[in-house]
Structure 1
Amino acid sequence: MQYRYDKEKNPVSMLAFGCMRFTKENGKINLEKAEAEILEAMKLGVNYFDTAYIYSGSEEAMGKIFEKNHCREQIYIADKLPHYLIKSAAGLEKTFQEQLRRLRTNYIDFYLMHMLTNLETWEKLKDLGIEEWIAKKKASGEIHRIGFSYHGNTKDFCELVDAYDWDFCMIQYNYLDENSQAGRRGLQYAASKGLPVMIMEPLRGGKLVNLLPEEAKQKVTAHPSGRSAAEWAFRWLWNQPEVTTVLSGMNSIEMIRENCRIASETREGAFTEEETAFVNELKDAINHSMKVGCTGCGYCMPCPKNVDIPGTFSFYNLIYSENKKTARKGYMQCTIFRQTPTSASQCVGCGKCEQHCPQGIPIREELKHASKELENVTYKLAGKAIRLFKLW
């Protein structure tokens, strides 16, 4: 295993264990299997294990495994505050103490604001006293490092990076999201500020492996390197020095060993021009099935009605390149799970965006199509519930 470093120069394994996808049987985590997998990962050098309050059963499973094997001091635990469920300072403390009990520990190494969306959300947390609370927890040693995880556009991400003295951050990033979500610009901006950047969704939930279009699969099979689709995606990430660690939701010994092998062999900056061109070929093969030729450049922004235009088109394209369920879930996270919604249906047709689009996209027309596809009944009901209970 190779290691990169946090702000204090502590080694973090380049491959991290995402603990959301432990194998379940009859609705419960198979603890014996999860234990064998965690111990195998540790044996191969993985030291970063990521969970969240809302990952059903994950915290409890990790706590039991680490306590049983007396290995708490050998690893880092990353956990997340579900701020969208918090209504008061007392709620902050109650939730955090519950997480400590589940994990059977008295401190958390990397603690994140889960799915922080924009400055408005952070300001709301500040009104609850989050900054003072964090300071106390760091002073007591209950939290070692504070950060945030993020789904959204580059602009909001960079504003959040500057909003507080963070110790690290986490973004969705892969070769298909190079110019969407926080993207390469966001990654490099955070790194330029001295922040370690943890990567989630390196394989786009399997999209870059099992759900590749046939043309891309054939390209991978025919390539003389013999690399799998997953290996191409991982190597593309680890080639970038700004990437600190890459989370993988591993749930088999074989997957753990293979991913650890790749992490041990890959060197930053080692990608050749031919390899970069090949990944771009895979990306092009995926993009052939997309509906809107948006590159995520952001020239159309800001929208007077706060529509996240590049984000909307990214998820609209996902319907056709991946599946409706994944696209609608991601769109929901990035548009209505925030203080000020950014839904496509907010478009009033002013046309300001089209004046600046270098691709000449009929944005107003495409936003109507996207809204129809993405904002189904579930989306609308979720939006009403969020506003009714003031979750954001």
Structure 2
Amino acid sequence: MNRRDFLKSAALTVAAGMVMGPTALAKEKTESVAEDGKDILNYNPKMKYRPMGQTGVKVSALGFGMLRLPMLADGKTIDMNQTVDMVHRAIDGGVNYIDTGRVYLGGQSELAVGKALSNGWRDRVYVTSKSPWWIMETPDDFERMFDESRRAIGTDVIDFYHIHMIMHRGWKEKVIPFGLIEKIEKLKAQGKIRFMGFSFHDRLELFKEVVEAADWDFCLIQHNYLDYEYEAGVLGPKYAAANGMGLAVMKPARTGFLANLPESMRMALASTGIHKPGNEWALDYLWDIPEVSVAVSGMGSMKDVEANLQYAAKAKPNMLTPDEREALGRAIRAYRETPGHIDCTGCYQCIPCPENVAIGYIFAYVYNNYLLHKDLKRAMFDYTTSMSPIQRGDPASSCTNCGQCLAKCPQGLNIPELLKRVERAFGK
């Protein structure tokens, strides 16, 4: 079934749900999936699918994140031929969720999606993209960037559209003042997008505020087994689901860290006699969470695609055994017991910092990773390049020791002193 025919049948399914009620509809959908998967776009019996909240559609447990793609020798240009082949293989394997963004790889990502989905492939998948508030100068930039995304992808309708990377500054300085919620609601009413949502990088309290600010269809958060307290944390998925939202999760392998585990964590996982690749552990942890609709994984090679398709074939809620849960707990302890580890959970209570230092990101995501791998090149990439400047903020050396953060830290960390440690390690 192609996308056009599927969307017609999906509309009838949603209409039926209004009459029958969500419980009856869920039962009916479960039974139909078990028979032949007719209510699933791009159905493949080797892939697992999950409800995307109350949208009425099911998405593949594995989503293709179009950010960390294979590059040419210059390190700046996407290898389009390899990327197209990877996307096609993923789709043939049952993936129906392709995730991109206006600013990903300087705009190349959306173009790569457009090329990969030409010649009929578009009809087999749901496409997402994102609106970056931090480069908007006027409210009118929202519509302009949306149209740029549609042209780059080569589609009239974007299925899942996000307000990108909501965090404290963007929420108060752009999303609310620029009326971006009203604007994304208008796109949905006009049929230019099917579902509206947001991606998120901040503390749980703000997450709840954003969830309650509109009738969102879905959201995208960062989560993995190490960062169960980081940002929206383990409660974020439950809060989103309680509000009827679908939940996509990005960076399941913590930008590659959990796919290339240090020796102490590998030994901790193997100590219970269970042996799996690091990336499989990371994905299984997310698929075990019933509220997670799709794990969006960046894949840089065909080998990554093939491996992730194999893992996704086994994905299901509550899939982890007691022994596997114990193994993950041991790995978390090994991570936190690393000498010099900063016991920061990334709760973001310490921000905004007057000097724009991204304290939680620097401690919980960059420095602690560095302590385990001792890979300075990778740490400096994370510190200075990997994330958007709006998320990354300014380096540790920008701290003026004002002390405003001290009373806010629930861990009681001496943040200014720890930032000096980071500055000594990274030179800035």
Paired residue type of 2:253: L
1:215 aligned partner: 264
Structure 1 residues 313-370: Cα deviation after superposition (integer angstroms, max 9, x where no partner): 3144234235532552459544639xxx99982653368638x856x64455335545
1:67 aligned partner: 118
Structure 1 residues 32-66: Cα deviation after superposition (integer angstroms, max 9, x where no partner): 22222112111111000011112232211211221
1:272 aligned partner: 321
Alignment CA distance shift 1:147-1:122 (3 Å): farther
Deviation at 1:30, TM superposition (A): 2.6
2:383 aligned partner: 328
1:46 maps to 2:122: no
Q: Secondary structure at the match of 1:29?
A: coil
Deviation at 1:309, TM superposition (A): 6.0
2:160 aligned partner: 110
Paired residues for 1:205-354 under 5 Å: 205-210=255-260, 212-220=261-269, 224-289=273-338, 291-294=340-343, 296=345, 311=361, 313-314=363-364, 315-322=366-373, 323-329=378-384, 333-334=390-391, 336=393, 345=399, 348-349=402-403, 353=407
- Paired residues of 2:139 and 2:179 also in contact (CA < 8 A): yes
1:12 aligned partner: 59
1:366 aligned partner: 418
Alignment CA distance shift 1:72-1:262 (3 Å): same
- Paired residues of 1:118 and 1:160 also in contact (CA < 8 A): no
Alignment CA distance shift 1:117-1:347 (3 Å): farther
Alignment CA distance shift 1:50-1:120 (3 Å): closer
Between 8-17 and 285-294, report the one with greater CA deviation.
Answer: 285-294
Paired residue type of 2:379: K
Deviation at 1:161, TM superposition (A): 2.0
Scaled by the length of structure 1, what TM-score is found?
A: 0.82
- Within 2, Cα distance between the matches of 1:334 and 1:32? 31
Alignment CA distance shift 1:89-1:310 (3 Å): closer
Deviation at 1:178, TM superposition (A): 0.9
Aligned-residue CA RMSD (Å): 3.2
- Within 1, Cα distance between the matches of 2:110 and 2:388? 27
1:386 aligned partner: none
- Within 2, Cα distance between the matches of 1:72 and 1:281? 43
| Number of equivalences | 369
Paired residues for 1:130-279 under 5 Å: 130-210=180-260, 212-220=261-269, 224-279=273-328
Scaled by the length of structure 2, what TM-score is found?
A: 0.76
The one of 10, 15, 21 equivalent to 2:68 is 21
2:38 aligned partner: none
Q: Secondary structure at the match of 1:145?
A: strand
- Paired residues of 1:308 and 1:343 also in contact (CA < 8 A): no
- Paired residues of 1:112 and 1:146 also in contact (CA < 8 A): yes
Paired residue type of 1:140: Q
Deviation at 1:128, TM superposition (A): 2.4
1:88 aligned partner: 138
Structure 1 residues 149-170: Cα deviation after superposition (integer angstroms, max 9, x where no partner): 1222222222222222221111
Percent identity for Structure 1 against Structure 2: 31
- Paired residues of 2:224 and 2:286 also in contact (CA < 8 A): yes
1:2 aligned partner: 48
Deviation at 1:142, TM superposition (A): 0.9
Alignment CA distance shift 1:313-1:29 (3 Å): closer
Structure 1 residues 252-293: Cα deviation after superposition (integer angstroms, max 9, x where no partner): 333222212211213211322221110111222222336345
Alignment CA distance shift 1:350-1:67 (3 Å): closer
Paired residue type of 1:291: G
Q: Secondary structure at the match of 1:156?
A: helix
- Within 1, Cα distance between the matches of 2:249 and 2:405? 35
- Within 2, Cα distance between the matches of 1:76 and 1:299? 33
- Within 2, Cα distance between the matches of 1:299 and 1:102? 35
Paired residue type of 1:348: C
Structure 1 residues 68-127: Cα deviation after superposition (integer angstroms, max 9, x where no partner): 2x1222211111112111112332222111111111111101111121112753552332
- Paired residues of 2:268 and 2:331 also in contact (CA < 8 A): yes
- Within 1, Cα distance between the matches of 2:136 and 2:405? 38
- Paired residues of 2:270 and 2:327 also in contact (CA < 8 A): no
The one of 171, 176, 180 equivalent to 1:126 is 176
Paired residue type of 1:269: N
Structure 1 segments unaligned to the other structure (5+ residues): 377-392
> Comparing both chains, which one has the higher relative contact order based on Cα–Cα distances under 8 Å and sequence gaps of 6 or more?
1
Q: Secondary structure at the match of 2:212?
A: helix
- Within 1, Cα distance between the matches of 2:413 and 2:183? 46
- Paired residues of 2:223 and 2:252 also in contact (CA < 8 A): yes
Alignment CA distance shift 1:188-1:138 (3 Å): same
- Within 2, Cα distance between the matches of 1:303 and 1:33? 41
Q: Secondary structure at the match of 2:82?
A: helix
Between 259-268 and 285-294, report the one with greater CA deviation.
Answer: 285-294
